[in-house]
Structure 1
């Protein structure tokens, strides 16, 4: 009975919302650009003083992923002025991205700072997602917003 219910839930269209600041990432090149935008303040930055990027790795057939849509959009509004950019990535359409990021469960939320994943939340837990964002923002504030710390050395070495 449970499997039958899940099957019919998976047939429901993926929800959309008319609010929030969530963009879609569909290609590896776009993903890399989005993650690297914050390294130097980046062009096309949606949020003022862009500090973090969070990506929701989801699947359209996944019931918890569907339930996450309005919560994620609401969080994007709450964290917009704090400098967090929100993105979503369909793991079935962007297998190269999900594979490179080690995604094995949906939904998975990854928080990036300076091009590096600093927090990961597997499963839908608004409290855990907010906690991960707050922790990463607090760490960014402790560093005084000065991105000339350890991250720059790594980036310069890679360049």
Structure 2
């Protein structure tokens, strides 16, 4: 499920593709607003949600709070930041500006996306399903609404009904941008319910290309850190111990650094003899893919590619690495029994 959202957010296609609403086409957006709107759309694609929020707010202010595309973009940025209430508020304002069924369908789809980002309890899933059904009823030409509805139905364990919607998407748009993922859902509906890790591929300091798909069958620990982070530096010894405890053909540790200065990062890694996979992410692309906002953060991915644990921050009673060891001990024991 995470991969699908992280791939760019289906809702973004409602306006990022350059389609302007009829209302805004008549009003002719102020050049300054157009510039900010474009910046916001680009930030969304790059998963730079804070920047997107700021740009959409600026564009909307220039347009005197009457910009439909600005509210659509703002709602998606806020939803991606986990701000459900504010995102739904922005969507409500977008709905008031919508002048036709196509625009209203976009807003319903956006509300569905916001609800999907907020949780998966039964009540929320029903609301999410309702939003996507309304979007389809208003504009059946958007094939991706079928895919969104199908995912929601699968999350509700209605795999048969979900498969019908996804099959409809594949039939109507066999070369669509989400075709590959749709086929994966058809093969394994659990992808809609489980927190599957987003695909990633990095070239490490050691010159190796490491990817999620290439590590299938192994436990993966992603260590998001930086040399300027005291608890990150303090955990190096325990991380070394972790690599000794578990063979590398079973548990793979990948440290992803947020350092901007390459020389400082390289020197630290060499000095501390951090001989496992090392990758520097100065632009934050991998961090944004996994929604990292604090350091250190550890993400444990099981052999099937499902995120099983995310550990953030410090615990005065127990180090993060100690907590990580406990999680791995439990998961590897479960794997051994399987």
Q: RCO (CA 8 Å, sep 6+): is it higher in 1 or 2? A: 1
User: 2:215 matched to which residue of 1?
Assistant: 38
User: 1:117 matched to which residue of 2?
Assistant: 307
User: CA 1:34–1:139 in structure 2 vs 1: closer, same or farther (change >3 Å)?
Assistant: farther
In the TM superposition, what is the alpha-carbon distance from 1:74 to its structure 2 partner? 1.1
> Residues 134-149 of structure 1: matches in 2 within 5 Å?
134-142=329-337, 144=338
In structure 2, what is the Cα distance between the partners aligned to 1:52 and 1:90? Answer: 20
Alignment of 1:133 onto 2:323: no
TM score, norm. by length of structure 1: 0.58
In structure 2, what is the Cα distance between the partners aligned to 1:138 and 1:36? Answer: 23
User: CA 1:59–1:81 in structure 2 vs 1: closer, same or farther (change >3 Å)?
Assistant: closer
Higher strand share: 1
Alignment of 1:91 onto 2:258: yes
- What stretches of structure 1 of length at least 5 have no aligned partner? 1-27, 42-50, 145-159
The count of corresponding residues between Structure 1 and Structure 2 is: 106
Between Structure 1 and Structure 2, whose CA radius of gyration is higher?
2
Match of 1:104 among 274, 293, 300: 293
In the TM superposition, what is the alpha-carbon distance from 1:99 to its structure 2 partner? 0.7
In the TM superposition, what is the alpha-carbon distance from 1:135 to its structure 2 partner? 2.1
In structure 1, what is the Cα distance between the partners aligned to 2:248 and 2:257? Answer: 26
Higher helix share: 2
1:60-115 CA deviation, whole Å, 9 max, x = no partner?
11000000111101111111267111110012441000111011111111111222
SS in structure 2 at match of 1:115: coil
User: 1:76 matched to which residue of 2?
Assistant: 243
In structure 1, what is the Cα distance between the partners aligned to 2:210 and 2:307? Answer: 14
In structure 1, what is the Cα distance between the partners aligned to 2:321 and 2:219? Answer: 17
In structure 2, what is the Cα distance between the partners aligned to 1:141 and 1:82? Answer: 14
Does the CA-based 8 Å contact 2:201-2:212 persist in structure 1? no
User: 2:228 matched to which residue of 1?
Assistant: 61
CA RMSD of aligned residues (A): 2.3
- What stretches of structure 2 of length at least 5 have no aligned partner? 1-199, 204-208, 260-279, 314-318
